[in-house]
């Protein structure tokens, strides 16, 4: 990631070229959730090649911390659901794919309920985040120094989730992000 004038590592930065209408995002989110309601706070938008689209699965993190081994490679989930290709969510995915230095992995809607917090962890790869619903008390936290609130502003943020982090919703309403995982950096 880049560093600022104080030589502090930026854990999250937005992509200046990409910006979407928040009104359109809210409207399309409503339509999407009518067709595919979140289950256990999640909804998949991508699937593996040669597999059919499964909106819901039991996969969580690509790395199994207890067994200390990878469950799968993010790049396996290279196909966007055909039935969702007319949505703004595909437009965002396609725009990011256009110039992302890393190949894209899973695209998902991920919710954190009020007063919930993830365990501290590192992901195998970085993630793009677009906030769809939030409250001022929701944060991505990179101990010990960074505590970042992503607003619902139609922006795409790249988070260095390979660094130790958690996500916390200390507010009173759900936090919902559109999250696109990345694979290994192209060389
Ligand atoms: Fe994470």
How confident is the model over 6-42, as pLDDT tens digits?
A: 445 589 999 999 999 999 999 999 999 999 999 999 9
pLDDT for the residue numbered 9: 58
Distance 186 CA to ligand 1 centre (A): 21
pLDDT digits (tens, 9 = 90+) for 100-146: 999 999 999 999 999 999 999 999 899 999 999 999 999 999 999 89
Distance 133 CA to ligand 1 centre (A): 18
Distance 27 CA to ligand 1 centre (A): 27
- Long-range pairs for 36-40 at CB < 8 Å and ≥24 separation? 38/109, 38/111, 38/176
Distance 126 CA to ligand 1 centre (A): 9
CA-CA distance, 181 to 165, in Å (whole number)?
15
Helix ranges (DSSP H) in the chain: 22-35, 88-99
Q: What is the mean pLDDT of residues 64-75?
A: 83
Distance 64 CA to ligand 1 centre (A): 13
Which of residues 57 and 9 earns the better pLDDT score? 57
Banded model confidence at residue 59, pLDDT cuts 50, 70, 90 = confident
CA-CA distance, 98 to 166, in Å (whole number)?
28
pLDDT for the residue numbered 187: 42
In this prediction the pTM is: 0.92
- Those residues whose C-beta lies under 8 Å from the C-beta of residue 66, and which sit 6 or more positions away, are none
Distance 138 CA to ligand 1 centre (A): 14
Distance 117 CA to ligand 1 centre (A): 11
Distance 56 CA to ligand 1 centre (A): 19
Distance 135 CA to ligand 1 centre (A): 19
Q: Which CATH number fits domain 12-182: 3.90.1150.10, 3.40.50.1820, 2.60.120.10, 2.40.50.100?
A: 2.60.120.10
Q: What is the mean pLDDT of residues 80-89?
A: 98
CA-CA distance, 142 to 150, in Å (whole number)?
14
Comparing CA positions, the residue from 115, 116, 161, 156 lying closest to residue 132 is 156
Average per-residue pLDDT for the chain: 92
Distance 25 CA to ligand 1 centre (A): 23
């Amino acid at each position: 990631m880049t560093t600022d004038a104080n030589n502090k590592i930026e854990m999250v930065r937005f992509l200046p070229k990409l910006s979407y209408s928040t009104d359109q995002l809210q409207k399309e989110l409503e339509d999407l959730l009518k067709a595919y309601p979140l289950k256990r706070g999640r909804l998949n938008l991508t699937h593996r090649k040669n597999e059919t689209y499964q909106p819901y699965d039991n996969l969580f993190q690509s790395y199994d911390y207890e067994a200390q081994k990878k469950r799968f490679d993010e790049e396996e989930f290279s196909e966007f659901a055909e039935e969702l290709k007319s949505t703004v969510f595909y437009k965002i995915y396609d725009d990011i794919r256009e110039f992302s230095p890393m190949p894209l992995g899973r695209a998902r809607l991920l919710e954190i309920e009020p007063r919930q917090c993830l365990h501290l962890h590192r992901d195998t790869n970085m993630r793009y985040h677009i906030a769809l619903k939030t409250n001022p008390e929701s944060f991505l936290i990179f101990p010990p120094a960074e505590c970042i609130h992503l607003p619902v502003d139609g922006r795409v943020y790249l988070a260095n989730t390979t660094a130790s982090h958690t996500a916390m919703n200390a507010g009173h309403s759900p936090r919902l992000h559109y999250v696109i995982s990345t694979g290994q950096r192209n060389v």
